[in-house]
């Protein structure tokens, strides 16, 4: 379920600190009153958070021209898939 943000309608509310986040069903009607202080509110557009699949298919990325490296230690990365050097090492100056 998404988190919707509401703000006071035409007034300030010291109790709700400007905006209130409410978890609601996608098909639910917007709230008219704040669930905390009871004053009139309006739903506002806020930033979205979208999470793609958690599993990364390194070989699929390689077929599209990407090279994937995995951190192997402090300042060292090793190639997992794709073209390029086997390892990348950073020196003490921060240069690869």
Q: What is the pLDDT of residues 39-51, one digit of tens each?
A: 889 998 777 666 6
Q: What percent of the chain has a predicted confidence (pLDDT) above 70?
A: 83
pLDDT at residue 7 above 80?
A: yes
Instruction: Say whether pLDDT at 96 is over 60.
Output: no
Distance, CA of 93 to CA of 28 (rounded, Å): 55
Query: What predicted TM-score, i.e. pTM, was given to this entire model?
Result: 0.46
Phi-psi region of 14 (alpha: psi -120 to 50; beta: other; left: phi over 0): alpha
Look at residues 14, 51, 67, 11 and name the one whose alpha carbon lies nearest to residue 36. 14
Helix (H, G, I), strand (E, B) or coil at 6: strand
Sign (positive or negative) of CA dihedral 54, 56, 57, 63:
positive
- Looking at residue 49, what is its pLDDT? 66
């Amino acid at each position: 379920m998404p988190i919707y943000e509401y703000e006071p309608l035409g007034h300030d509310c010291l109790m709700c600190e400007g905006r209130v986040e409410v978890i609601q069903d996608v098909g639910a009607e917007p709230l008219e009153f704040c669930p905390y202080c009871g004053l009139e509110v309006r739903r506002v557009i806020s930033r979205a958070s979208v999470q793609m699949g958690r599993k990364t298919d390194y070989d699929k990325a390689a077929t599209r021209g990407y090279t994937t490296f995995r951190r192997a230690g402090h300042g060292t990365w090793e190639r997992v898939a794709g073209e390029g050097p086997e390892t990348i090492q950073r020196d003490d100056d921060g240069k690869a």
